[in-house]
A and B are shown apart, each in its own frame.
Chain A
Amino acid sequence: MNGSIKSLSPLRFLAWMLGYIVFGAACVAIAPLFGSQHVDLSKALDFSIPAYENQGRAILFTTRIPRIMLAFVAGGSLALSGAVMQALLRNPLASPFTLGVASGGTLGAALVILGGGTLLSAFIVPGTVIGAFIMSLLTLLLVWALANNRGRVTTGTLLLAGVSINFFFGAIVLLLQYTSDFEQNFALIRWMMGSLDAVGYDSVNGIFPALVLSIIVLFFYARIFNVMALGDEAAETSGISTNTVKIVCFAISGLLAGAAVSQVGPIGFVGLIVPHAVRMISGPDYRLVLPASVLGGGGFLVLCDLLSRTVMAPTELPPGIITAMLGAPFFLWLLKSKAREIVI
């Protein structure tokens, strides 16, 4: 056994980051080449052909690339949100949805779909996006308020409040579904399965600013998360105001998950397994876990989307089905092969 302490040196950090960047970039580079429609790349990128005659270019730039970018930023946001939740709650089962963000978002979308969305569709952004985003943030606030006991918020009460709200909102959504007509029901189910359909870059723009802002802020919190892994008391006596950290980082995590869920629906599993997978690959140090979750989560959802577009082409599968069907076996394999390195 090595006697000296292996700390995260700048060189080791850069080496790992390079690895994750290559993975993310490779996923993004490969994905546009495949799809239900064959695109001749040399023809699509030949700008001497006028745009109206170049169908390949239209497919590539108005549907495929926006879709891949959407998958990347959504996957990265969900995974980063999950990594933050796991750090704050010190619970390996925490995910962006643990605190009710997804169920709140679903309820918001359901209310818009059932309410006809006439009021909200006056805006350029689809009504479901607005409804889901507002409701997911309101839900997070509600859960926080419920868990707040005289100014102190403990992990256990927060988790229980989140889980209770999940069930409560889930029940309301079921009730709404039961009373809705066939068309509304179909729209709601499709929303709940998640969708990465994108035409143009509006959806990407709906997530990207939240992701960039979060990455900048969380850069300063990575080491604090390491200290907080030893418990709230250890963190407090190390000079960290854990309540402030929790407030700031839950807000960020909620913003990330809310932005992603409102654009692509509640695509599960990414936020739970990607942080664990990167932890098993490059260790639990949050200085690596956070950026690696963005790149790994982005790459993972791009790959899942690629599969969802191609396995049953020309039919597209909802991406949520692929993330779970691909993610669960991969995660279980990782769990089995490195079982000792995960704490439950």
Chain B
Amino acid sequence: MTGTTISPVEICNKVEFIVRRNRCASPRLRFTPFIDLMSTPMPDTLYTVKNLAFAYEPGKKVLDVDLFHVSPGEFVALIGPNGAGKSTLLKILSGLIKPASGVLEFKGKKFRDISSRELAKKVAYLPQDDEVHFPFTVGEVVMLGRWPHTGGAFFDSARDIEISSDAMKRVGISDWSGRLINELSGGERARVLLAKAIATQPECMLLDEPVSNLDIKYRAEAYAMLRSLVESGVGIVVVAHDIGSMSRWADRMVLLAGGKIVVDGAPSDVLKEDILERAYGLSVKVITDGNDRAIFPREIKTGGGAE
């Protein structure tokens, strides 16, 4: 702090933040709480979510989150069974749907005080189902990622073209710019849309199953590329079903079930047999090899769900 007084609420928030951060897997983020509390200012948390509830129909809550944070340079994986509310949480973070109640802040600012254009410059959202209509070229689609920054100009600036080209290079699709988007396979399209999201140069990326159509090589490449973005300070929230391979890349895993956060912690703390069994209603075996984990179903109970 800069010598100014600090309120008890701020101290509580700070301690809460530090405790949470210390649970991260990334050694870069580990530090001593007390020294940190007194000496360094609290970094800008990207997302702060508290007591947030959402229902598509009145009375039927699909999401009920007590506490959820995303920090810059943090790779968070949202995991959980189908219908647990992962995509809904991601949509709330993207601003697509509005929560019924609770605190939702981006960089300390309440959501309703942020214009959608302002949020679009800082947050890139990649939906689960892509739909690209009409035969745009790959280059044109990636360039659309620059839209929030263009400010309504009729033509693209040289800088926008350069940033988009860089984004394509990052995803390894530099020589696709003339290909037509409707001629690509699902996996190829996913990589193009990832490049589009990177071209926005966001501070936070919200990705809903970005790699589900990719083969193992491109999946590893995509995660490594996302990891490099995280190292440069971007916060990433990914909805993923490949939880085993995710454990290598994510700093934190947030397990949702029935609209509630069940566990929030390092992959080694979350990917435990008893935790997964309760959340998915399935007896599993977890095999660990360094940072990698493989999860095998053992016995499938019909009916599923937490019993």
Contacts and interface: CB of A to CB of B under 8 A. Distances in A.
Nearest to A5: B139
B176 A239 contact: no
B135 A237 contact: no
Contact of B148 (A6, A233, A239): A239
B117 A233 contact: no
Interface stretch (A117-125, A190-198, A222-230): A222-230
B148 A7 contact: no
A279 interface: yes
Given A229-B134, A236-B116, A1 B154 contact: no
A13 B150 CA distance: 18
A3 B137 CA distance: 12
A231 interface: yes
Q: How large is the interface on B (under 10, 10 to 19, 20 to 34, 35 or more residues)?
A: 35 or more
A61 B142 CA distance: 51
Chain A CB count within 10 A is highest, among B133, B148, B179, for B133
Given A5-B164, A223-B150, A343-B133, A230 B178 contact: no
Nearest to B168: A5
B205 to A, nearest CB: 11
A220 interface: yes
Contacts of A284: 134-136, 140
Contacts of A13: 155
Chain B CB count within 10 A is highest, among A7, A9, A241, for A7
Chain B CB count within 10 A is highest, among A10, A220, A231, for A231
B269 interface: no
A285 B181 CA distance: 13
A92 B137 CA distance: 17
Interface string A322-344: 00000000000000000011110
Given A3-B175, A239-B117, A284-B134, A10 B144 contact: no
A280 to B, nearest CB: 9
Contacts of B130: 230-231
Contacts of A234: 125, 127
A8 B94 contact: no
Interface in B145-178: 147-148, 150, 152, 154-156, 160-161, 164-165, 168, 174-178
A309 interface: no
Nearest to B144: A227
B147 A3 contact: no
A5 B161 contact: yes
B182 interface: yes
Contact of B152 (A92, A223, A343): A223
B177 A237 contact: no
Contacts of A279: 134-135
B211 interface: no
B96 A233 contact: yes
B131 A230 contact: yes
Interface of B: 94-96, 115-121, 123-125, 127, 130-137, 139-144, 147-148, 150, 152, 154-156, 160-161, 164-165, 168, 174-180, 182-183
7 contacts: A223-B152, A233-B96, A238-B120, A238-B144, A239-B117, A239-B118, A285-B136
Given A238-B144, A240-B116, 8 more contacts: A6-B137, A6-B139, A7-B155, A229-B133, A231-B127, A233-B96, A237-B125, A342-B135
Q: Give the 5 A-B CB pairs with smallest separation, nearest first.
A: A239-B117, A239-B120, A5-B139, A237-B125, A284-B134
